[in-house]
Amino acid sequence: MSEESSGNESLAAIFHRIAQMLEVTGADRFRVIAHDRASRLIESHPTDLAALARKEGKKPLTDIDGIGPKIADKIIEFANTGRIAEHDELVASVPHTLLDLFNVPGLGPKTIRALWQELNVTSIADLKRIIDDGSILTLPRMGAKTVENIKEAITFSEQSAERIPLGIAMPIAEGIVRRMSKIAGVTRADFAGSLRRGRETIGDLDILVATNNPAAVRDAFTTMPEVTKTLTAGDAKCSVRLNVRGKIMQADLRIVPDASWGAALMYFTGSKEHNIRLRERALKKGWTLNEYGLYPDDDEKTPPQHRGVKSLAGADEEGIFKKLAVPAVPAELREERDIDEPPPEDLLQLSDIKAELHAHTTASDGRMSIEQLAEAAKARGFHTIAVTDHSQSSALAGGLKPDALRNHIDAVRAANERIKGITILAGSEVDIRADGSLDYEDELLAQLDIVVASPHASLRQDPKTATERLIRAVNHPLVHILGHPTGRIVNKREGFHPDIAEVAAAAAQHRTALEINANWMRLDLRDTHIKAAITAGKGKTLIAIDCDVHHPDDFDNLRYGVMTARRGGLTTGGCVNAWQQKKLHEWLKSKR
Ligand code: DGT
Ligand code: CA
Ligand code: CA
Ligand code: ZN
């Protein structure tokens, strides 16, 4: 997220709130959708739209696919006045704490509206109160089971509220790093902590800067526009609280001399457990390791870096690993793990990925045509793109009835003839029904080049039922990939807890791949599951990493999937998206 787009962020946030407020006031569905779509478009737009509107007026705005004249007028209004009157009017009529209810998983706008209108609920606190006194049950269609679910959802969202999803934290951290890099005297800047290790959620951001001018870095960091509070402001260490589009988070900054870069990066990358093991190793060798370097241990009270002691290593991480005689571990594997265990030599890398096998077009709920999708995949250097629109049961996501799918297959085949330089596969993301059966007849599935089978409903099944359901799907001879196997949404929906080892063993036996859905809201399978799946498959586990593309930008989520895969120890050979075209297509055909 660059500084240039910060205008877009506030504008996007305003449209998002307008959409939510329209929804709870019971406004026309299409108005809600238009504002919501505008919000997403603006947020992901590379140039500052308010600035563009000021310079060139309405035309370039309405030229953007998805922005109509009414929305464009509001952007112009914002560009000229910094406000949108409609937003201000809505704010005056909708209590702002009411919008917090949107963060409770499973609470839809209709229910929120009913809670507000019928029972005067305007906050989470109110909602808890009417659950406790039972008056929530007076709402139409509100039974004990639903109330129980809402209660659970409130607790879950409260507990997980503090940790920030990887995909939100990453662009924010990168924006800060970019700004720090530009300051005079700065030789290096990067992010560290759990973010560099690729954890699915981040407690706080850790930023590291090497410079000979700490004061300039300190001042720049503590005066960034998103800083709402400075907690510490020293020459070696600063801490601030940020508000980025309503997300509150802490960011820690460490400032070190260039010669300590590697030691500091290692220290602040962690994990704590990994650091402790390295420090113990240093002590065993008669050395001491801290964030400034590796030094001889001379039992002096004053730390070595303050006494001009020459370090044994410290400028880069490799040098420290080497001196300690432990294998250099990629950041993603620096968790509870034996430091003497060498990391896999062919640990998967982002550049290994050559295919996207789970993507949606305008035929269901995607934003791109088949052609646009194919061109976008080609631009990423992929040899294969699979068109996998939703199946009939996913009605809300525009799932295709059998006849529509037949036509779609023809359209994909025709596009594949027309477009050179990439293979376009005709596929489907087929719902796995609650009993593990699939949402199309086998006769139709057999006509597809690729089948991704995913659970979308009944995600509260108990572990045993869920395991049986998934195993039935991976055993199906026409299925290639099990999509987002647990259905969880980070911080929002728990999904179910199948026995991953059992599912993975069955999948390996049938040469069915398990998906790592790279969307940072899903990351499903998660890191621990991947590790378990690789172990259970005894060398035969196949993993697919896919972006579940709906929008061109979704391809950018790939790195989160790859980081998660690396945390699980996935190698290039075990990832079907990293295979050469021939090998991939042979595997797909082997199930036809
Ligand atoms: P988070 O922020 O909760 O997602 O997790 P981390 O790993 O980013 O933890 P954080 O921000 O508290 O600290 C960043 C790194 O700094 C951590 O991974 C290791 C290092 N560190 C922090 N506190 C300690 C400590 O008390 N001992 C050692 N050895 N390392 C520490
Ligand atoms: Ca952290
Ligand atoms: Ca920290
Ligand atoms: Zn899906």
Neighbours of ion ligand 2 (CB under 5 A): 193-194, 203-204, 206
- Rounded CA gap, 368 and 391, in Å? 18
pTM of the model as a whole: 0.77
Ligand 1: atom nearest CA of 202 is 4
Our CA angle for 533, 488, 397, nearest 5°, is 115
- Residue 156 is predicted with a pLDDT of 66
Nearest CA to ligand 1 atom 3: 203
- Counting ligand 1 atoms within 8 A of each CB, the residue from 202, 208, 275, 280 with the most, and so the one to mutate, is 275
Residue 70 CA to ligand 1 center (angstroms) comes to 48
Q: How many CB atoms lie within 10 A of CB 412?
A: 25
Q: What is the pLDDT of residues 113-153, one digit of tens each?
A: 999 999 999 999 999 999 999 999 999 889 998 999 899 88
Query: In this predicted structure, what is the pLDDT of residue 3?
Result: 36
Taking the centre of ligand 3 as the mean of its atom positions, its distance from the CA of residue 254, in whole angstroms, is 10
Q: Which residue has 């238009």 as its token pair?
A: 34
CA 546 to chain centre: 12
- Interatomic CA distance for residues 26 and 22, integer angstroms: 6
Query: Distance between CA 492 and CA 103 in Å, rounded?
Result: 8
Name the band, by pLDDT with cuts 50, 70 and 90, for residue 2. very low
Cα 413 to Cα 406, 426, 446, 448, distances in angstroms: 11, 7, 15, 10
- Indicate if the pLDDT at residue 369 is higher than 90: yes
Which pair of structure tokens corresponds to residue 545? 């990493």
**CB-CB neighbours of 555 under 10 Å:** 20
Q: Sketch out the chain's domains with CATH numbers.
A: 3-93 (1.10.150.110), 96-159 (1.10.150.20), 164-256 (3.30.460.10), 270-333 (3.30.210.10), 350-589 (3.20.20.140)
Please list the alpha-helical segments (H only) found in 307-391.
Answer: 317-324, 370-379
- Residue 269 CA to ligand 2 center (angstroms) comes to 8
CB 271 near ligand 1, within 6 Å? yes
Contacts of residue 157, defined as CB under 8 A and 6 or more positions apart, other chains included, come to 103, 104, 105, 491, 492
Q: Which residues sit opposite 514 in a β-bridge?
A: 482, 543
Helix axes 500-509, 463-475, angle to 10 degrees: 10
Q: Would you give the distance in Å from CA 314 to the centre of its chain?
A: 33
Q: Give the residue-averaged pLDDT of 587-591.
A: 98
Q: Which pLDDT band, with edges at 50, 70 and 90, does 94 fall under?
A: very high
First to last CA, the chain: 44
Of 191, 199, 206, 240, the residue with max ligand 1 atoms within 8 A of its CB, to mutate for a pocket test, comes to 206
Q: Does 6 contact ligand 1 (Cβ within 6 A)?
A: no
| Cα distances (angstroms) measured from residue 485 to each of 99, 146, 181, 443, 457 | 31, 24, 40, 24, 12
**Average pLDDT, integer, range 567-575:** 97
194 ligand 1 Cβ < 6 A:
yes
Residues 6+ apart with CB under 8 A from 241: 227, 228, 229, 230, 231, 248, 249, 250, 251
Strand duo 186-191 + 205-211: pairing: antiparallel
**pLDDT value, residue 361:** 98
Extract the tokens encoding 305. 């870096």
Between the CA of 422 and the centroid of ligand 4 the distance, in Å, is: 24
Q: Is 344 in the pocket of ligand 1 (CB under 6 A)?
A: no
Residues whose CB is less than 8 angstroms from the CB of residue 68 and which lie 6 or more positions away in sequence, other chains included:
34, 62
Mean pLDDT of the chain: 94
Nearest to 554 by CA among 356, 351, 389, 399: 356
- pLDDT band of residue 1 (cuts 50, 70, 90) is very low
Does 317 score more than 80 pLDDT? yes
The total number of residues shown for the chain amounts to 592
- pLDDT tens-digit profile of 210-260? 999 999 999 999 999 999 889 899 999 999 988 888 777 889 999 999 999
How far is it, in rounded angstroms, from Cα 554 to Cα 330?
25
Euclidean distance between CA atoms 409 and 319, whole angstroms: 55
The Cα angle at residue 388 between residues 383 and 390, in degrees rounded to 5: 165
Q: Which amino acid is at 244?
A: V
**Exposed, middle or buried: residue 220 (CB in 10 Å: 0-12, 13-18, 19+)?**
middle
For residue 44, what pLDDT band results from cuts at 50, 70 and 90?
confident
Torsion on CA atoms 557, 561, 563, 567, rounded to nearest 10: 160
For residue range 436-461, what is the model confidence (pLDDT) as tens digits? 999 999 999 999 999 999 999 999 99
Q: Which two tokens stand for residue 33?
A: 């959708």
H helix intervals, 138-212? 144-160, 166-181, 193-197
What spacing in Å lies between the alpha carbon of 217 and ligand 3's midpoint?
A: 18
Give the C-alpha distances (Å, rounded to integers) separating 143 from 114, 133, 135, 139: 14, 14, 11, 9
The answer, yes or no, to whether residue 282 has pLDDT greater than 80, is: yes
Closest by CA position to 303, among listed 290, 314, 313, 312? 290
Q: How far apart are CA 533 and CA 531, in angstroms?
A: 5
Confidence of residue 159 (pLDDT cuts 50, 70, 90): low
Q: Is the CB of 270 under 6 A from ligand 1?
A: yes
- Atom 31 in ligand 1: which residue has the minimum CA distance? 272
Q: What is the pLDDT of residue 6?
A: 56
